Amino acid sequence: MDKSTPKNTNHMKNIRSQSQLENKVSKALWKKGIRFRKNVKLFGTPDIAITKYKIVIFIDSCFWHSCPIHGKIPKTNEEFWIKKLGRNMKRDIDVNRYYEEEGWHLLRIWEHEIKENFEGTIDKIIGFINFHKNNLFS
């Protein structure tokens, strides 16, 4: 049985759906003329969506989405975290499958990509968006 204290539960409820990193990416894209919606009520709640072109972009935290390079299981309450992060990974797979089956264009960006090469990651996102805007039937 998972045990979480009321303090931890309240802490988890207070986590905002937008991180500072997501806001930094959003501002950079907006400055470069890319128009989109944030945290749209679509399946999986993508961080960025351009519904007209069926484009969704997720910015994944290395911790919460179990990055193969930086994702680590905390030593405290290890059983809980293995289950929790495992559910997150399964949900990511389900979300990817959903958008693929529905004909959407999905891009996932790792937190470390943004931190290690911000401008390069912004260019990657813009390239992805422009490619799919210009190739509507791809």
The answer, yes or no, to whether residue 132 has pLDDT greater than 50, is yes
Contact between residue 47 and residue 38 where contact means Cβ atoms under 8 Å apart? yes
pLDDT reported for residue 15: 47
Bridge-based pairing of strands 105-110 and 37-38 is unpaired
Q: Which CATH architecture has domain 36-134?
A: 3-Layer(aba) Sandwich (3.40)
Range among 12-21, 48-57, 62-71 rated most confident: 48-57
The answer, yes or no, to whether residue 108 has pLDDT greater than 60, is yes
* Rounded (10°) angle between helices 118-134 and 20-31: 60
The answer, yes or no, to whether residue 109 has pLDDT greater than 70, is yes
- Mean per-residue pLDDT over the chain, rounded: 89
The answer, yes or no, to whether residue 5 has pLDDT greater than 70, is no
Q: Strands, E, within 25-136: which ranges? A: 37-38, 48-50, 55-60, 105-110
- The tens digit of pLDDT for each residue in 110-120 reads 999 999 999 99
What's the mean pLDDT in 7-24? 64
- The tens digit of pLDDT for each residue in 37-61 reads 998 899 999 999 999 999 999 999 9
In the chain, pLDDT over 70 holds for what percent of residues? 86
pLDDT reported for residue 63: 94
Measure the CA–CA gap between 28 and 26, rounded to whole angstroms. Answer: 5
Contact between residue 67 and residue 75 where contact means Cβ atoms under 8 Å apart? no
